[in-house]
């Protein structure tokens, strides 16, 4: 898998905005960002992709898998797609600009 395909998009939601607010952990400033990543991506690939595109090294990467939900489209049962979410933590208070990718 190419590193270009690992990060699909940053997640901009109320919950992810709360994660981005700077917190304190062991006397260090921590900042967390949420990304939608490729379903086959793992923590190592996400870490390398962040390092390549944003020139920052994350201190921690957590990955969660979301199962697609059953729903109806025009009275026909369908499944929404499965997707994967990664939460990337920076302990040095680093900020990422999503409009600019190196």
pLDDT the model gives residue 84: 97
Estimate to the nearest angstrom the gap between the alpha carbon of 8 and the chain centroid. Answer: 9
- The CATH architecture of the domain made up of 3-90 is 2-Layer Sandwich (3.30)
23-25 and 7-10 beta bridge pairing = unpaired
pLDDT the model gives residue 79: 95
φ, ψ of residue 92 in degrees (nearest 5): -95, 5
Residue of 38 and 14 predicted with greater confidence: 38
Q: Are 7 and 58 in contact (CB under 8 A)?
A: no
Q: What is the pLDDT of residues 37-50, one digit of tens each?
A: 999 999 999 999 99
- Output the DSSP codes for 19-47: HHS-EEETTEEEEEEEEEE-TT--HHHHH
């Amino acid at each position: 898998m190419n590193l270009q395909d690992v990060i699909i998009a940053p997640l901009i939601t109320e919950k992810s905005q709360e994660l981005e607010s700077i917190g304190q952990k062991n006397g260090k400033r921590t900042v967390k960002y949420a990304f939608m990543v490729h379903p086959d991506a793992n923590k190592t690939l996400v870490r390398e992709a962040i390092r390549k595109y944003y020139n920052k090294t994350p201190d921690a990467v957590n990955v969660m898998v979301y199962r697609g939900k059953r729903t109806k489209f025009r009275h026909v049962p369908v499944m929404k797609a499965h997707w994967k979410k990664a939460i990337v933590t920076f302990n040095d208070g680093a900020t990422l600009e999503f409009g600019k990718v190196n």
